[in-house]
């Protein structure tokens, strides 16, 4: 796999540290966990769904935490009763896991459900009104206000 050295970019930019960290993490495939498998899908223009295969885990075995721009999903099986069963072959992985997802700005978790061994996490991107693009009307009224401010500044 190719490795890109981003250190020259760190020296010549300000405020892009998070972006470069994400690029470093994306190119580091060797240490990327592969368990449990998951899908990320876009369900509409501003809605997403993460589906994680968690066969063998119940609702009490899973924890979902959203903090700042990170979503963390943890799974840990509760201790089984001693002597209840003897497993002759274990092909279903039930090991503990922690899966992290970086969320874009303004992406919020709206809900989660567990059905048929799949954990579905629904997300939506809600951009605040102050951050949405807006149309600026062009009119003569705004020019008059500027002229009045300039005249009062000259008089002082």
Per-residue pLDDT of the chain (156 residues; tens, 9 = 90+): 456 666 666 666 666 666 667 666 666 655 656 788 999 999 998 899 999 999 888 899 999 999 988 899 999 987 665 557 787 887 877 788 999 998 888 899 999 999 999 999 999 998 888 888 888 888 866 545 555 555 555 555
User: Which among 103, 104, 32 has a CA at the least distance from the CA of 64?
Assistant: 103
The 10 Å Cβ neighbour count of residue 96 is 11
Predicted TM-score (pTM) of the model is: 0.64
Cite the residue boundaries of each domain of the chain with CATH code 2.60.40.790. 35-79+90-129
What phi and psi values does residue 151 have, to the nearest 5 degrees? -65, -40
- Which two tokens mark 75? 């799974």
Q: What is the dihedral of CA 107, 42, 28, 76, to 10 degrees?
A: 80
Q: Please answer whether residues 50 and 38 qualify as being in contact, where contact means their C-beta atoms are separated by less than 8 angstroms.
A: yes
| The CATH number of domain 35-79+90-129 is 2.30.30.100 | no
């Amino acid at each position: 796999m190719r490795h890109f050295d981003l250190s020259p970019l760190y020296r010549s930019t300000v405020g892009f540290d998070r972006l470069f960290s994400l690029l470093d993490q994306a190119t580091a495939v060797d240490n990327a966990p592969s368990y449990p498998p998951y899908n990320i899908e876009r369900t509409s223009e501003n809605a997403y769904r993460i589906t994680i295969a968690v066969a063998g885990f119940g609702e009490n075995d899973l924890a979902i935490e959203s903090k700042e721009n990170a979503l963390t999903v943890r799974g840990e099986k509760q201790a089984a009763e001693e002597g209840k069963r003897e497993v002759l072959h274990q092909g279903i992985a039930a090991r503990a896991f922690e899966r992290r997802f970086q969320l874009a700005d303004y992406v919020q978790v709206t809900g989660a459900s567990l059905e048929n061994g799949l954990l579905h996490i629904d997300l939506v991107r809600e951009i605040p009104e102050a951050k949405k693009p807006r149309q600026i009307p062009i009119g003569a009224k705004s020019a008059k206000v500027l002229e009045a401010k300039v005249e009062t500044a000259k008089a002082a």
